[in-house]
Structure 1
Amino acid sequence: MFGGETKIFIGAKDRALRKRIKSILQRQGYLIVGEAEDGAAALRIIRRLMPDLVILDKDLPGFSGLELTRIIKGDKIAPVILLTSSWEQPLFEKTKDSWVFAFLVKPIQEGHLLSTASFVLQAFQKMICLERQVDELKESIETRKLVERAKGFLMKKLSLSESEAYRRMQQQSMDQCLSMRKIAQAIISNYE
């Protein structure tokens, strides 16, 4: 995803700043898919283009960079690098629950921009992967609970042992080409 495949959006009021960032990133093979000088335009373009990385100036007119990061997180679009004129601890506190993955203090240094962009993209991919794993684990736990509950119904209603109830569910799953979860849900619906 890095280099030419990576789509980046830049939102900053200062045209020279956007041009500098764009130039640095393009030399490294990144694809700049959009730019905007105000928050409202930035939001429209970001939602339409769904970039892989968003670089926003904190002081965008209209929607501020901070407001945009909250919307970007809500829409689950992309990680954000926030540009600021100085390091401010209160700003860090305000962005804790957003998708701001890094701050860059202006003026932008080429090495800092490139290393930060690379780091943020990698960290975001790891986060997405972990979220997927968590969702899969939740699904697995929920399925296990349903199977246990269904086994309980079969054991009680049909006087089966636990292993017999489980084997019966497995057989139904194979015969009907349905997941154990669907079989368990059907059994629970039938006996409730």
Structure 2
Amino acid sequence: MRIVIAEDEAIIRMDLREMLQEHGCEVVGEARSGAEALEAVRRMRPDCVFMDIQMNGRDGLDAARAVCEEGLAAVVVLTAFSQESFVKEAAEAGVMAYVTKPFSETDIMPALHVACSRFEQTRALAAEVSDLQERLETRKLVERAKGILMRDGLDEAEAYLRLQRSAMSSRTPLKEIAQAVVTADALRA
């Protein structure tokens, strides 16, 4: 797995890097602030970013929120703060795991695997939602086009068949044919 470490304390960055590399991970970037972390994640496209909360400049939760909103990588917060308010804010930001310092391999590796797994599941669900939205839009457009053709005396099955044949003969997606019918009808009005 490709990892970016965002931690303002050099010793902790070094320990975490060694721990991750011992488990076959590739640390592709390191950052000392939230702004550096966000830039490294955008540039390096890692699988996961380990993010401290309080760093100089842009804080880790703000950077984590941006990483999550942009869907760039799984985020594991690695911090000394265990207060409920920080945990809640991290969850609201989209963080996939939360580990408190001091940490060990038995804390880091499970958090990494769970975070990456959850991130991939989230990414797959987002793709599925996008596909379903596209299908729904196509369906609505085809229904409108069928309605227009039915005003010209065709029944529903004939209207759909005409759209289908037109799409096949012109090697054009059904959605585009339906859109053309709707547009032509609007221009006639």
TM-score by length of 1: 0.93
Q: Secondary structure at the match of 1:188?
A: helix
1:94-152 CA-partner distances (Å, limit 9, x unpaired):
22332311110001111110011011101110110011111111111111111000000
SS at match of 2:110: helix
| Structure-2 separation of matches of 1:52 and 1:99 | 15
Structure 2 runs not aligned, ≥5 long: none
Q: Report the Cα offset of residue 12 of structure 1.
A: 0.5
Counterpart of 2:162? 168
Aligned partner of 1:182 among 170, 176, 187 = 176
Instruction: Tell me how far apart the structure 1 counterparts of residues 70 and 128 of structure 2 sit (CA, whole Å).
Output: 20
AA partner of residue 69 (structure 2): G
Residue 58 (structure 1) aligns with: 53
Moved over 4 A (4+): none
State the SS of the aligned residue for 1:93.
helix
Query: How far off is 1:72 after superposition?
Result: 1.3
CA distance in 2, matches of 1:123, 1:168: 44
Within the alignment, does 1:135 sit opposite 2:130 as a pair?
yes
- Which residue in the other structure is 1:67 paired with? 62
User: Within the alignment, does 1:111 sit opposite 2:130 as a pair?
Assistant: no
Cα RMSD for the two superposed structures:
1.1
Task: Find the aligned partners of 2:129 and 2:9 in 1 and give their Cα distance.
Answer: 41
Residue 84 (structure 1) aligned to one of 61, 64, 79: 79
Aligned residue in 2 for 1:95: 90
Any gaps of 5 or more consecutive residues in structure 1? Answer: 1-5
Alpha-carbon distance between aligned partners in 1 of 2:92 and 2:167, rounded to the nearest angstrom? 43
Task: Give the % identical residues.
Answer: 34
Q: Which whole-Å deviations, capped at 9, do the CAs of 1:5-30 have from their partners, x for residues lacking one?
A: x2100011111111111111111111
Partners in 2 of 1:39 and 1:131 — Cα distance?
26
The one-letter amino acid of 1:93's match is K
- Aligned 8 A contact 1:9 1:46 in 2: yes
Aligned residues, how many? 186
Range 121-130 or range 35-44, more displaced: 35-44
Residue of structure 2 aligned with 1:145, choices 137, 140, 157: 140
Distance 1:34 1:123, change over 3 A: same
| Paired amino acid for 1:12 | E
Aligned to 2:20: 25
1:39 Cα deviation from its structure 2 partner: 2.4
